[in-house]
Amino acid sequence: MNDYTTILREHNLKATPQRLEMTNALFMNGHVTIERLYELMLKKFSSISLATIYKNINLMLEASFIEEVKLPNAKSVYELTKETHSHLLCSKCDKVQDIVLNLTDVTRRASNAANFNISKTDLVLSGLCENCS
């Protein structure tokens, strides 16, 4: 019984082999699209249904066990929930990278300027990665 068995059960999700492999695929591959995840899953479960992927993605999203990252000009990617972070997207090689940034100053300024109570920030910085520039 690995880590994710417990976490899945804590969210009232049965720890099925398919789900454990999904979490493993996400852990190993980082940010993945639905179709990439389906490909990865097919390697281990040759007859898994795409519907199973979608159903589990949605259940795991509801449980905040995973998160969706919406990217400009690209399909959404999914990842295991971790520390709050921002994303770097390379517009040449499409690589997505995590970056932990302190955004308190920005959110404070926004909050003050617009009388807004900010609870979440989604930031994607696009450009060229180390390799591509």
Interface positions with DNA (CB under 7 A): 5, 8-9, 12-19, 34-35, 45, 47-52, 54-56, 58-59, 75-76
For Zn ion, how many residues bind (rule: CB under 5 A)? 5
Candidate list 22, 79, 88, 89; residue touching Mn ion; CB under 5 A: 79
**CA 4, CA 97: separation in Å to the nearest integer?**
23
From residue 58 to residue 97, the character string flagging contacts with its own copies as x (rule: CB under 8 A) and all else as - is: ----------x-xxx-------------x-x-xx-----x
From residue 95 to residue 114, the character string flagging contacts with its own copies as x (rule: CB under 8 A) and all else as - is: --x-x-xxx-xxx-xxx-xx
- Using alpha carbons, select from 57, 59, 91 the residue that is nearest to residue 73: 91
Q: Calculate the dihedral angle through the C-alpha atoms of 77, 78, 84, 90, rounding to the nearest 10 degrees.
A: -30
Considering the complex, what minimum distance in angstroms separates the CB of residue 56 from DNA? 5
**CA 63, CA 43: separation in Å to the nearest integer?**
26
**CA 8, CA 14: separation in Å to the nearest integer?**
7
